[in-house]
Amino acid sequence: MHGSIKIQASHLNRRGIIYIRQSDPKQVREHRESALNQRALRERLLELGWKASQVVIVDGDQGISAKQSAGRENFQKLVAEVGLGKIGIIVGYEVSRLARNCVDWHRLLELCALSDTLIGDSDGVYSVRDFNDRLLLGLKGTMSEAELHSLRLRLDAGRLSKAKRGELVHHLPTGYVRTDAGEVTFDPDQSVKSRIELVFSKFDERGSGHQVLRYFVDQKLKLPRKQTSGLYAGEVLWKAPTLSAIHSILKNPAYAGAFAYGRRQTSPARQIPGRPASGRLRSERKSWLALVKDVYPAYITWSQWERIQEKMRENQRTMQARLTRKQAARQGNAMLAGLVRCGKCGHAMRVSYKDNRFQYVCCKSVNELGTRSCQFLSGARIDDSVVTAFFTAIAPTHIDALGASMRQQAVEREQQLKLLRQEVERLNYVAHRAERQYDKVDPENRLIAATLERKWEQAMEELEAARNTLADFDLAPTPKLKISADDRKLFSNVGQELPKIWPKLSLAARKAMLRTLITGVNLERADDGRARIRVVWRGGSVSEIIRQVPIHSRRYTTLEKQTVERVKQLTDEGLTCDSIIAQLNAEERKPCRGGKFTRAILTKLKARYGIVSKLEQVRRGLRPKTTYSAEEMAAQISVDRAWIYRKIRLGSIRIEKDPIHGCYLFPRTKLAIQKLRQLKRGTRAHVTFP
């Protein structure tokens, strides 16, 4: 290390720092010589004049890359102390030990120039205040960053080349093992292999990952999971099933015998400093870096794996993408939940439950646009119409449902019995292994002996519980379908007898049967309450049904506007409420709710649209311009309105109520006023108005 002439007394009065770092934990464990070379720099600092008490070795950032300062706490503290002027020299075996990032490197150089801190490496000592030294250090930092980039390119190219041939060695999923010769085979543990196969068979049967999880939970089955790190790295542990674990099995192409590389690619924006494995996002298949088929022994075929992926995507899609595809059935009384889409806007319709009824509701415009819902229809009649169409479509076929059900029941019982026996065998091995471990421990070492004893006892308890479950299941008689002779005859030909069997089936069974033929239902309701139901069948054919459904509201519809215009017309003709109601019902017009118009419905309709009777119009001052109302005429002759009504009742004023307005209207003439004034003075006995 040259450049001792640059070392001044001001530098020797401060500490000398030796920064030690290696890129990853593997280098720390295996490349011991690099650590020894870096620590040997301490002797060189002593030769340059620093005291042993002033030399500090900083090695807290071992196993961390220098691509960024985040995550390197010791480097950050070092930079802070440089800024405070506490350090006389920083020594590293080479510049790349301090930083492989030009931003971090030049920031450190700026601080060193301000605080007059020297930088040293195996080549010499540099003063950052000297232009030539700073230029050289800048070039070294740039070359260090470029070196990391070139190393990464070469490593990635080699890794990708092996991946495209399917020869890259990486962690195998649960259910596979790699032999000493490097060959990949099935896990020799038959319980592991059969449990993986069970996941795929149950997904094929039930159609969704949630249903597979429910089956495992109901049957109290565990899933094997191979540990890739930690205390039990390389071992297979049996854990409680989770949805993420089931999805990781269903989505992994290795179970179809394919080698895939680049399924998860790193996003720098999501990566956490100091955690190289973070920030990985699952990418689409077209973005995978390599995909080689027929590399591993397969649990399923490649076509089966592709169908599983398509099925899982269908379970997540909106109804717009599901129109011609089958999907898993949902909970609730609605038979068509998840299959229905709106015929007006084309978006999915959800199910809304209230009391004992349900509706199919389009909420797209409400949720995203803040406007009124496109439509909502009573679900019961829609379901009945679709089920009737399903009966018609399936009637010509001949299906022996009873025989198929009994055969399926026998297969499932045999499968469950096999799983229970494998569980007993596995736990028996675990218990014997725990016993052997306990026997080998020194009895005087009570701490270890007590732990192994508890482990043995726990294994024996689990084994005993598994044996009891197997014994109960094995001794229990095979459940038989309790079915009468008449029902047995019906189930022997389901195609023609399905309408009779339908009420006896469970709700889940009905939904599953509908989805064997129906892939989508399109609904569109007209203002008159007639719903057009378009049923999309498997294969692409479409049938259309017209069905009258209850209308919960005709507000603001074209039909209601026509009814309002008719009410205005009848009101202008002077008809009373009862006459208007009778006329509307005679014309077979329908209100929003109920089958016929009533006084309450008509009153609400008039109030909503501001329709008032002719009499009310007169009260509001809206009368023919050629007439006076009784109140206006009373004002003209300076009497009280009651005087006019009394004279009419006594016959002194002979006038009939207007047939349209329903009240007394006097001619708007001077002669009419003169006659009434004469009647008031007593010079006339009576006044007659035609």
Q: Which entry of 4, 23, 161, 373 is annotated as an active-site residue? A: 23
Write out the two tokens for 444.
Answer: 């005087």
CA 658 to chain centroid = 69
- Contact call for residues 192 and 429 (beta carbons, < 8 A): no
Residue for token digits 């399923």? Answer: 300
User: Closest Cα partner for 348 from 384, 368, 323?
Assistant: 323
Sign of the CA dihedral with 285 first, then 290, 293, and 298 last:
negative
Quote the CA–CA distance of 365 and 398 in Å, as a whole number: 45
CA 481 to chain centroid = 39
Which amino acid belongs to residue 246?
I
CA dihedral 202, 204, 208, 214 (to 10 degrees): -10
Residue for token digits 């191979």? Answer: 226
Quote the CA–CA distance of 218 and 42 in Å, as a whole number: 65
CA dihedral 395, 396, 400, 405 (to 10 degrees): -50
Quote the CA–CA distance of 435 and 449 in Å, as a whole number: 11
Residues sharing a CB contact under 8 Å with residue 101, sequence separation 6 or more, in sequence order: 66, 67, 68, 69, 145
Long-range contacts of 652-660 (CB under 8 A, 24+ apart): 652/679, 652/685, 652/686, 652/687, 653/679, 653/686, 653/687, 653/689, 654/686, 654/687, 654/688, 654/689, 655/688, 655/689, 658/627, 659/574, 660/573, 660/574, 660/614
Crossing angle for the helix pair 558-572 and 599-609, to the nearest 10 degrees: 100
Quote the CA–CA distance of 244 and 117 in Å, as a whole number: 53
Quote the CA–CA distance of 458 and 456 in Å, as a whole number: 5
| Phi, psi angles (nearest 5°) of residue 463 | -65, -45
Coil, strand or helix: which one is 343?
A: coil
484 is catalytic: no
Quote the CA–CA distance of 639 and 526 in Å, as a whole number: 59
- Contact call for residues 556 and 543 (beta carbons, < 8 A): no
CA 489 to chain centroid = 45
CA 278 to chain centroid = 22
Coil, strand or helix: which one is 362?
A: coil
Write out the two tokens for 339.
Answer: 């299959």
CA angle centred on 442, ends 438 and 447, rounded to 5°: 75
Largest separation between any pair of C-alpha atoms in the chain = 145
Residues sharing a CB contact under 8 Å with residue 569, sequence separation 6 or more, in sequence order: none
Active site residues: 23
